[in-house]
Amino acid sequence: MTMEKTLWQQVQLVRQKSPLVHNITNYVVMNNTANALLAAGASPIMAHAHSEIKEMVNIAHSLVINIGTLDEYWAESMFIAAETANTIHKPWVLDPVGAGATSFRDQILHQLLQFHPTVIRGNASEIIALSKTNKTITKGVDSTAESNDAVDAAQMLVNQYNTIVCISGETDIILSKNQSFHIRNGHPLMTKVTGLGCSASALTGAFIGTIEDKVSGTAAAMSLLGIAGELAVRESKGPGSLQVNLIDKLYNITEEEFTSHLKIERS
């Protein structure tokens, strides 16, 4: 089977299985994240209360932790959830939003790494910051580094934490112990919509909660978002309508659209 077919089958499998994805994410993107997951066929739940975290991780198929608007209470929620997921072998995604921006974020991220995220997805600046104990200058939550610059940092994270790392950017680079992917889908206008990186992480959560091969599942999630974004841009007048059209396209993308636009290389 071609890679196009394999990845498209995974897109369809997520629709059929409708995995329950538990999100501990930031306030800015909760609505979009839930809508992106619903549009892709998954079932989102947002929950962060210490009193219910363990039960939620238990009933969910996967967990997504995004530190975008963390505070001390939410950091503890994230620790409980990540530890639970690690213990009971639920796949989970770490989105290190704003890594390097403050020492608080770096401390929390350092602790979360000890619970072995299945996948880490961030932009190049965040991945570089995550791999360092010394402080990196990050400008807000947007990337100022190129994906390629972050490859060494990502490789270190892969080796040290036995994880998959996805560096998202103009080219998305997915690295793991055994295989890697380069995906050249997406469009620059997507960086003008808040939280599409967060949607990428959430979709990755849906795919690794459904697909056995986590590296391939991550590639399918990133491809889906990139292609849907690319196609949605064509119908959009700016970032406002792109946010709306992207959700529509995640919902109604066809096999022909997916396979004919996919730009992926495996190595």
| Interaction between residue 46 and a second copy (CB under 8 A) | yes
Indicate which single residue of 6, 47, 86, 111 sits in contact with a second copy (rule: CB under 8 A): 47
Contact (Cβ atoms closer than 8 angstroms) between residue 115 and residue 85: yes
How far out from the chain centre does Cα 248 lie?
19
Q: Which is nearer to a second copy, 55 or 255 (CB)?
A: 55
| Cβ atoms of 219 and 9 closer than 8 Å | no
Residue 122 contacts a second copy per CB under 8 A? no
The verdict on 234 binding a second copy (CB under 8 A) reads: no
Residue 35 binds to a second copy (criterion: CB under 8 A): yes
**121 in a known ligand binding site:** yes
Among 1, 89, 212, 237, binds a second copy (CB under 8 A): 237
Per-residue b/e over 108-120, b at no fewer than 16 CB within 10 Å? bbeebbebebbbb
| Contact with a second copy (CB under 8 A) among 3, 83, 104, 155 | 104
Task: Name which position in 2, 51, 133, 178 contacts a second copy (CB under 8 A).
Answer: 51
By beta-carbon proximity to a second copy, the closer residue of 76 and 149 is: 76
Residue type (1 letter), 84: T
- How does DSSP classify residue 188? G
Q: Does 69 bind a second copy (CB under 8 A)?
A: yes
Q: Does 72 contact a second copy by CB under 8 A?
A: yes
Q: Is 88 in the site for a second copy (CB under 8 A)?
A: no
Please identify which residue in 141, 203, 206, 221 interacts with a second copy, judged by CB under 8 A.
141
Tell me whether residue 116 or residue 192 sits nearer to a second copy (CB atom): 192
As a whole number of angstroms, the longest Cα–Cα distance in the chain is 48
Q: Which of residues 238-257 bind a second copy (CB under 8 A)?
A: 238-241, 243-252
Q: How far is CA 203 from CA 15, 72, 79, in A?
A: 12, 26, 21
Ligand-binding annotation for 46, yes or no, is yes
- Burial environment of residue 240 by CB neighbours within 10 A (0 to 12, 13 to 18, 19 or more): exposed
Distance (Å) of CA 87 to CA 19, 84, 114, 164, 231: 20, 5, 12, 18, 40
Buried b (16+ CB within 10 A) or exposed e, 175-195: bbeeebbbbebbbebbbebeb
Binder of a second copy out of 5, 45, 162, 177 (CB under 8 A): 45
Q: Minimum CB separation from a second copy for residue 37, in Å?
A: 8
CB of 249 closer than 8 Å to CB of 225: no
Q: Considering only residues 163-192, where is the footprint of a second copy by CB under 8 A?
A: 192
264 binds a second copy (CB under 8 A): no
Q: Which residues bind a second copy (CB under 8 A)?
A: 20, 26-32, 34-35, 38-39, 43-52, 55-56, 59, 68-73, 98, 101-105, 139-142, 192-195, 236-241, 243-252
